[in-house]
Amino acid sequence: MESQTLEHTQPLVLAQEPRNPGMNLDLDWVASVQANTSAIERRCATLPARRSVKKEHQAAWLLKAVTCIDLTTLSGDDTEERVRRLCAKARQPLRGDILQALDMPAITTGAVCVYHDMVPAAVKALTGSGIPVAAVSTGFPAGLSPFHLRVAEIGESVKAGAKEIDIVISRRHVLAGNWQALYDEMKAFRTACGEAHVKAILATGELGSLRNVARASVICMMAGADFIKTSTGKESVNATLPVSLVMIRAIRDYYDRTGFRVGYKPAGGISKAKDALVYLSLIKEELGDRWLQPDLFRFGASSLLNDIERQLEHHTTGAYSASYRHASA
């Protein structure tokens, strides 16, 4: 990973990225998509060992990672008070003394992600912050509720103030190779989102093969997805480097062919600062610096922020503190 100093983590003024409008379904393109599993795994095995940043450069990259986190709570025992505390953490993800020691201005996380019922509480808590609320939708996490209810759920979350909608696809369409059905489903979800950006969750751990992951990625982008996302976080296998490489290269191919940038969101199982650094290096090498901004890259995580804050405190003080001193909410 290229050396970088702390000032590079400050927000950049970016031109408004045009949304991916999608395109007609191109089954010839889909059929041509392949995945060389052994080559993909070899490439990914080299990343953690040869990509290392130290000292102030590591601190800079960790600060960048914070701005790309979708701070998330998706538990059955979620309450409005828990969501309000999470939103307060999103507004100020790092302690003031750490930012002061790093000579950094205030930063925020990329978004807060919640279930539909918690959207109004999150919107109210984040008013004036500029932090968007993301809602999981379409029968999350399995996506097996009736289709008209999944579409209606999107509309209700948008009406409640969600600016981003994380939808789940029907895995059966991928497993059966029914690409037309997947395209039609994704297009209907995109239409229901209106102005809200849509992240398509592929649930990659349930798709059977890396080739299926690659083809599902292309189909969702053809249907207008603004982001493609690995997992719900509820599967037995969530974000992995091989899956990420496949999805990132699908994004690169889509950009090369259409000129539209689609975002990427690994989710589930990313809880350590060192893992965040590996994902950031993968994005930089495969897609370039433009994708290292929160409008095109997010971590779907909750505990990741705790470890990043702990590592940054170590950077500024030379000592590790107990993890309980860095609660998410």
**How would DSSP label each residue in 80-126?**
HHHHHHHHHHHHS-S-HHHHHHTT------SEEEE-GGGHHHHHHHT
Q: Kindly provide the b/e burial profile for residues 295-309, where b requires at least 16 CB atoms within 10 angstroms of the residue's own CB.
A: bbbbbbbbebbbbbb
Mean pLDDT value across residues 223-237 = 96
pLDDT of residue 15: 61
* Active-site residue, 166 included: yes
250 found inside a domain: yes
Other Cβ atoms less than 10 A from the Cβ of 250: the count is: 24
pLDDT at 53: 77
What's the pLDDT band for 329 if we cut at 50, 70, 90?
low
Q: What is the mean pLDDT of the segment spanning 266-291?
A: 94
Which of helix, strand or coil describes residue 302? coil
Q: For residue 278, tell me if it sits in a domain.
A: yes
End-to-end CA distance of the chain: 31
- State how far the Cα of 226 lies from the Cα of 296, in Å rounded to an integer: 9
Q: Is residue 146 part of a domain?
A: yes
For position 202, what pLDDT does the model report?
Answer: 98
User: How many domains does the structure of the chain reveal?
Assistant: 1
Is residue 307 flagged as an active site residue?
no
Indicate which residue of 64, 70, 89, 166 is catalytic: 166
**Rg value, the chain, Cα:** 19
Q: What is the mean pLDDT of residues 104-119?
A: 97
Average pLDDT over residues 188-217: 98
Quick one: pLDDT band at residue 10, thresholds 50, 70, 90? very low
Which CATH number goes with the domain that contains 113? Answer: 3.20.20.70
- The C-alpha atoms of residue 172 and residue 208 are separated, in whole angstroms, by 11
- Chain centroid to CA 316: 28
Question: Does some domain include residue 324?
Answer: no
pLDDT at 94 over 90: yes
Supply 88's token pair.
């307060």
Whether residue 269 has pLDDT greater than 60 = yes
The structure's pTM equals: 0.93
User: Catalytic: 199?
Assistant: no
**Which one from 89, 187, 199, 229 is the annotated catalytic residue?**
229
Pair of tokens at residue 72: 């998330």
pLDDT (tens digit, 9 = 90+) per residue, 173-196? 999 999 999 999 999 999 999 999
Indicate whether 253 belongs to any domain: yes
Is residue 326 in some structural domain? no
Which domain, by its residues, includes 302?
A: 21-318
Q: How far apart are alpha carbons 15 and 8 in whole angstroms? A: 17
CB 154 within 8 Å of CB 168: no
| Cβ atoms within 10 Å, residue 80 | 14
Residue 313 is assigned to a structural domain of this protein: yes
Distances (CA, A) of 92 to 73, 88, 109, 201: 17, 6, 8, 28
Q: Looking at 70, 265, 284, 307, which residue is catalytic? A: 265
* Residue 10 lies inside a defined structural domain of this protein: no
